[in-house]
């Protein structure tokens, strides 16, 4: 998913890991895996780079990232599932139907920075930095290669800073190293394959299938988390 479209590892992985892993471990693995995939993709797909277009997104992301990292340790497992479920249920259908939504032409770089800020917050929570900017690029009507390079390089910057902060603050620990060693090679072949597919085919059908499955996963998470959140432990 990430190699093909430039985003999606965090959402896809977390839709599974949220069922079995505690939030900080799931977030650390998600950010590390997403960062690994972005490094690979940055080498494999380099078309359409536009620095002036990218900078507002990164500036906004830098402002939002600390807030997401602050929120993460304060999420318990049911709340974490509930938050992730809401994100999946709301955002994935929006991205599914993004091509049919009206194009947004107003707001300029300030609006791009707000999209980056939202991406920074979500990146700090669990490596979801590319979700809002991906949707925003589609609503802006960016050319395919321009949108890809914005999402890819924004993700690379945010995930690098997020993982560095996780290491400094102790969210990512030495005990997680064996799990990182599993995630890294598991990203390698799929990311390269996705990047190769990106060059030769349209990503639309593949993304719609994945987004549909993620929406169903979000519904299942809400079904599991809401009774606990409403009625208590």
Is the predicted pLDDT of residue 86 greater than 80, yes or no?
Answer: yes
CA distance 5 to 206: 9
pLDDT of residue 161: 93
Assigned token pair, 33: 């895996």
Closest CA to 163 of 30, 18, 63: 30
- Output the pLDDT for position 135: 81
Q: What angle do CA 126, 187, 21 make, to 5 degrees?
A: 40
pLDDT digits (tens, 9 = 90+) for 97-147: 777 778 888 888 999 999 999 999 988 888 888 888 888 888 888 877 777
Per the prediction, the chain carries an average pLDDT of 82
CA distances in angstroms from 60 to 26, 116, 148, 200, 202, listed in the order given: 25, 5, 18, 32, 30
Give the integer Cα–Cα distance in Å for 64 and 76. 21
3-state secondary structure (DSSP) of residue 99: helix
Comparing 57-71, 130-144, 176-190, which segment has the lowest mean pLDDT?
Answer: 130-144
Give dist(CA 123, CA 137) in Å, integer. 17
Cα 71 from Cα 90, distance rounded (Å): 20
Structure token digits, residue 61: 């992301």
Token pair belonging to 208: 């719609």
Angle between helices 204-231 and 9-17 in degrees, nearest 10: 40
- Distance, in Å, from the CA atom of 177 to the CA atom of 187, rounded to the nearest integer, reads 16
- Is the whole model's pTM more than 0.85, yes or no? no
Q: On the CB side of 92, how many CA atoms lie within 13 Å of its CA? A: 24
For residue 61, which of 158, 164, 127 has the smallest C-alpha distance? 158
């Amino acid at each position: 998913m990430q190699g093909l479209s430039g985003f999606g590892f965090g959402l896809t992985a977390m839709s599974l890991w949220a069922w079995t892993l505690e939030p900080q471990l799931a977030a650390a693995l998600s950010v590390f895996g997403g960062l690994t995939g972005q490094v690979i993709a940055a080498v494999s797909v380099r078309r359409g780079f536009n620095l002036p277009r990218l900078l507002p997104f990164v500036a906004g992301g830098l402002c939002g990232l600390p807030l997401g990292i602050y929120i993460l340790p304060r999420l318990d497992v049911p709340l974490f599932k509930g938050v992730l479920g809401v994100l999946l249920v709301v955002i994935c259908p929006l991205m599914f139907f993004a091509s049919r939504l009206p194009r947004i032409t107003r707001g300029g770089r300030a609006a791009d920075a707000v999209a980056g800020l939202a991406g920074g917050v979500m990146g700090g929570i669990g490596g979801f930095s590319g979700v809002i900017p991906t949707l925003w690029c589609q609503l802006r009507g960016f050319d395919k290669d321009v949108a890809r390079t914005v999402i890819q390089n924004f993700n690379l910057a945010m995930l690098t800073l997020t993982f560095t902060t996780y290491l400094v603050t102790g969210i990512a620990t030495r005990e997680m190293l064996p799990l990182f060693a599993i995630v890294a090679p598991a990203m390698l072949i799929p990311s390269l394959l996705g990047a190769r597919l990106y060059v030769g085919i349209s990503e639309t059908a593949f993304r719609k299938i994945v987004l549909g499955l993620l929406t169903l996963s979000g519904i299942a998470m809400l079904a599991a988390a809401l009774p606990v959140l409403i009625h208590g432990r």
